[in-house]
Amino acid sequence: MRKPIIAVTALFDDEKNSIWMLPAYLDAITEAGGIPVILPLIDNNEDIKNLVSIYDGFLLTGGQDINPKIYNEEKAKQCGYINHKRDTMEEILLSEILKVDKPILAICRGFQLLNSHLGGKLYQDISIEKNNGKGSIHRQEKPYNKLIHKVKIKEDSLLFEIIKENEIMVNTLHHQAVKKLSPIVEEAAISEDGLIEGIYLKNKRFVLGVQWHPELLYKDFENQFSIFKAFIDSCK
């Protein structure tokens, strides 16, 4: 049987002016039954459209902060570094994928981009904008495969359909978060301090976003591996 070929958005090292990749994303796809391919960082609409036609599914990875202009805000001083090349390419990519209804798994930055691209907004920094400078439970230290906080999963969601649990523990590596949910997406999971940590699109083949990093957990926790397995199965 032909394995699904999965396009993975590249990470970018600004100091070296180079694309790169964390092996965990690729390993998770491979172990779930797919073949990962890292995408180039380009901004030509027709070229990106052609890329979308080639691959069976798309993994939107973590990385730099989302440009607040995407959700109609100015960049605040607490916002981290943004990469205009990634923002430009991935917005075009996301639009084209949704047009042809191919599967998407969006992780961390990818999750935030999905919400922002579809009309939602972000906290540019959780500790300052949500917690009044009191810090956040969402920036853990190594090891990153350690479980830090709970998320509750909505029973009627795609995520519950996959994991079949009402509550799970996750890792957490972000300082930005969903502030306003896109009117198009559905809430799938919420953290113990009230942040939206999972979203999905109804009436699509498979579009799921999670704020945490299941690629760093899947080897130790079956419920996290099931996310990748469901994604790859939807690409067949």
Query: For residue 33, what is the domain's CATH number?
Result: 3.40.50.880
- The pLDDT assigned to 128 comes to 79
Mean pLDDT of 203-210: 97
- The pLDDT assigned to 140 comes to 85
Kindly report, residue by residue over 17-65, the tens digit of the pLDDT: 999 999 999 999 999 999 999 999 999 999 999 999 999 999 999 999 9
Mean pLDDT (the chain) is: 95
- The pLDDT assigned to 131 comes to 57
- The pLDDT assigned to 136 comes to 58
Strand partners, 173: 139
Q: Using the CB atoms, write b or e for 109-125: b if 16+ within 10 Å.
A: bbbbbbbbbbebbbbbb
Mean pLDDT of 105-116: 98
- The pLDDT assigned to 201 comes to 98
235 is catalytic: no
Q: From residue 9, how far is each of 41, 76, 86, 95, 149 by CA, in Å?
A: 8, 26, 9, 14, 27
Which entry of 91, 138, 213, 235 is annotated as an active-site residue? 213
- The pLDDT assigned to 217 comes to 98
117 is catalytic: no
215 is catalytic: yes
How many domains, in total, are found in the chain? Answer: 1
Question: Using DSSP, how many helices (H) and how many strands (E) does the chain show?
Answer: 7, 13
- Name the least confident of 93-97, 135-139, 193-197, 212-216: 135-139
Structural domain including 146 reads 5-234
Which entry of 90, 108, 174, 235 is annotated as an active-site residue? 108
| pLDDT band at 127; cut points 50, 70, 90 | confident
